[in-house]
């Protein structure tokens, strides 16, 4: 099979998975025990009002029609309206998505280079003092809840030394430096959340490459170890490392939901939690779809990269 055909197949599978995701998201939020119309109206639910709301929301249509209508809206950019304030979800979600995206990009731009350097240092001398230190510290970091890292950072840098604000409060006239300053603590927490996994996986990947025949040859020729690492091992390990990064950025989603809530960042994660608390079903559906789509896309990217990098995967047994 040619490379393009193989990647095309992966993309098709990705679209198919997204369709399944949409069915499950829709079904998951539709099988409510209570009636949505009654839930919106609360105590002021008279039979006439309930009937009116049901008609306006199209709740009397058969399920598959409502699903198709909803999916059509999603694809054409019509995200529906919030049950809480009746506002169009498109505008709100757009702003929130931008903030979350900004946060994720900042995190990735710090975490990715840092984890590659630490992973390489670790692999330089396996079981050496540095490797064991990095291994123990990352193992401990993996075990920490995200909010503990956040609270400790806030206690140190916002409460004790007052370097950074504890709560992100960005006004529209703030300059880029103000925004960066406000985002230091959330980004630092998120970096800690993904760093440990990335460092450990980078180390494994680089060590795998280091035990291969060409590297042994280079060793026997007497090339210094750091040179082997940078010139010979890194290019070969680059593709699996990119794979590792894509997978870990997908893990970032759970962290983002917690960190946005804690630091009051008006991002999509916080919006999701608010919508769940308000039982704002259309909003939950849209948020879940966006997060799932990003997750599927990142996994897909990781797959495609490993197919390009590893010729053996192009000819599945």
Partner 1 sequence: MTMPETELRSPLRELLSELTPTVFICALILVGFILVVIFAPLIAPYGEGEILTNDSFALQGSEGKAQPGSTLLLGGDFLGRDILSRLVYGARVTLSVALAISLLAFLLGSTIGFLAATLRGTADAILSRIVDALISFPSIMIALIVVTSLGSTFTVLIITVALIDATRVFRVARALAMDIIVQDYIEAATVRGEGLGWIMWQEVLPNALGPLAAEFGIRFTYAILFISALSFLGLGVQPPHSDLGLMVKENIQALLYASAYDDLRYALICISPALCIATVTVSVNLIVDWYLKSTGASLPEEL
Q: What angle do the packed helices 89-124 and 281-309 form, to 10 degrees?
A: 40
Rg (CA), the chain: 24
Q: Say whether residue 245 binds partner 1 (CB under 8 A).
A: no
In the complex with partner 1, the residue whose CB is nearer, 21 or 219, is: 21
Q: 111-150: which residues touch partner 1 (CB under 8 A)?
A: 139-140, 142-148
User: Among 83, 123, 134, 281, which residue interacts with partner 1 (rule: CB under 8 A)?
Assistant: 281
In the complex with partner 1, the residue whose CB is nearer, 53 or 205, is: 205
Smallest distance from the beta carbon of 259 to partner 1, in angstroms? 11
The three-point CA angle 275-276-279 to 5° equals 80
In the complex with partner 1, the residue whose CB is nearer, 32 or 52, is: 32
Among 87, 89, 66, 65, which residue's Cα sits nearest to residue 77?
Answer: 89
Among 195, 206, 185, which residue's Cα sits nearest to residue 139?
Answer: 195
Residues touching partner 1: how many (CB under 8 A)? 51
Provide the token pair at 52.
């009116």
* Rounded Cα distance, 61 and 93, in Å: 27
Smallest distance from the beta carbon of 98 to partner 1, in angstroms? 20
User: Among 100, 107, 248, 299, which residue interacts with partner 1 (rule: CB under 8 A)?
Assistant: 299
3-state secondary structure of 158: helix
The three-point CA angle 103-107-113 to 5° equals 155
In the complex with partner 1, the residue whose CB is nearer, 5 or 142, is: 142
Q: 183-242: which residues touch partner 1 (CB under 8 A)?
A: 204
Stretch that binds partner 1, among 23-31, 85-93, 214-222, 231-239 (CB under 8 A): 23-31
In terms of phi and psi (left: phi > 0; alpha: psi -120 to 50; beta: otherwise), the region of 127 is: left
Interaction site with partner 1 (CB under 8 A)? 17, 20-21, 24-25, 28-33, 139-140, 142-148, 151-152, 154-155, 158-160, 162, 166, 204, 250, 253-254, 257-258, 261-262, 272-273, 275-277, 279, 281, 284, 288, 291-292, 295-296, 299
């Amino acid at each position: 099979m040619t490379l393009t055909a193989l990647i095309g197949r992966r993309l098709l599978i990705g679209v198919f998975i997204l369709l399944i995701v949409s069915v499950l998201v829709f079904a998951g939020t539709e099988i409510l025990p209570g009636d949505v119309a009654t839930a919106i109206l609360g105590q002021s639910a008279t039979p006439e009002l309930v009937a009116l709301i049901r008609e306006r929301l199209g709740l009397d249509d058969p399920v598959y029609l409502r699903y198709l209508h909803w999916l059509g809206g999603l694809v054409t950019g019509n995200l529906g309206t919030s049950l809480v304030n009746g506002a169009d979800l498109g505008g709100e979600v757009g702003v929130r998505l931008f903030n979350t995206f900004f946060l994720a990009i900042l995190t990735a731009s710090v975490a990715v280079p840092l984890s590659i350097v630490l992973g390489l240092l670790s692999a330089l001398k396996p079981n050496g003092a540095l490797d064991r230190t990095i291994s123990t510290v990352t193992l401990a970091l993996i075990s920490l809840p995200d909010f503990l890292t956040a609270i400790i950072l806030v206690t140190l840098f916002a409460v004790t030394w007052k370097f950074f604000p504890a709560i992100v409060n960005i006004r529209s006239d703030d300059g880029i430096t103000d925004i960066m300053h406000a985002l230091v603590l959330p980004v630092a927490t998120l970096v800690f959340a993904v760093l440990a996994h990335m460092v450990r996986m980078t180390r494994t990947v680089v060590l795998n490459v280091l035990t291969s025949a060409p590297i042994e040859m280079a060793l026997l020729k007497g090339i210094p170890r750091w040179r082997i690492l940078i010139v010979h091992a890194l290019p070969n390990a680059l593709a699996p490392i990119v794979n590792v990064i894509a997978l870990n950025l997908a893990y970032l989603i759970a962290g983002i939901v917690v960190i946005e809530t804690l630091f009051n960042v008006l991002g999509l994660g916080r919006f999701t939690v608010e919508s769940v608390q308000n039982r704002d079903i259309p909003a939950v559906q849209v948020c879940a779809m966006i997060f799932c789509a990003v997750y599927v896309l990142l996994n897909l990217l990781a797959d495609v990269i490993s197919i390009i990098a590893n010729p053996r995967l192009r000819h599945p047994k």
